[in-house]
Amino acid sequence: MKQIQKILFPVDFSESSEKYIPWVVTFAKQFDATLYLISVTPDVSNFASFYAPHVNIKGFQDEIKEGAAKKMKEFSARHLKELPKVETRMPTGKAEEKILEVARQEQIDLIIMGSHGRTGLERTIFGSVAEKVIKSAPCPVLTIRPV
């Protein structure tokens, strides 16, 4: 039987993220797995070439990271306190790339993530992080559509 020792759970701190918690906690407890909670912050440094008066891009990026770190701590304390093994990661970049990078680096056994169920033009414009992760993940991916 395949052992699941490491589970990766990407979150964006939306209301939908909270709907996946029962699934994530159930899997982590069932397998006594370490849960890797990841939140990817966007890299705004590529906007540095645009003219933006009175804007310090590095300072803005630092504020985004600081806010995400606070949300990560609150989210973990509120929803994952019953899990003894939780690690957090907060990389900066494209969500799908960083999720896959952490999955490979940490040798993750299972990724559990939400699928927002976008269709049509919205999906064309925004794409699907879940779909991109599924196509390239080094491990199984369990996607959950919020209800």
Q: In this predicted model, what pLDDT tens digit does every residue of 32-59 receive, in sequence order?
A: 999 999 999 887 766 655 555 555 767 7
What's the pLDDT score for residue 126?
47
Domains of the chain are 6-144 (3.40.50.620)
Q: In this predicted model, what pLDDT tens digit does every residue of 94-105 receive, in sequence order?
A: 999 999 999 999
| Strand order through the sheet with 110-114 | 86-89, 34-38, 6-10, 110-114, 141-144
Would you say residue 28 has pLDDT above 50?
Answer: yes
Q: What is the pTM of this model?
A: 0.84
| Cβ 29 vs Cβ 7: under 8 Å | no
Instruction: Please provide the DSSP assignment of 60-128 as one string.
Output: HHHHHHHHHHHHHHHHHHHHSTT-S-EEEE--BS-HHHHHHHHHHHTT-SEEEEE-----HHHHHHH--
Distance CA 57, CA 94 (A): 17
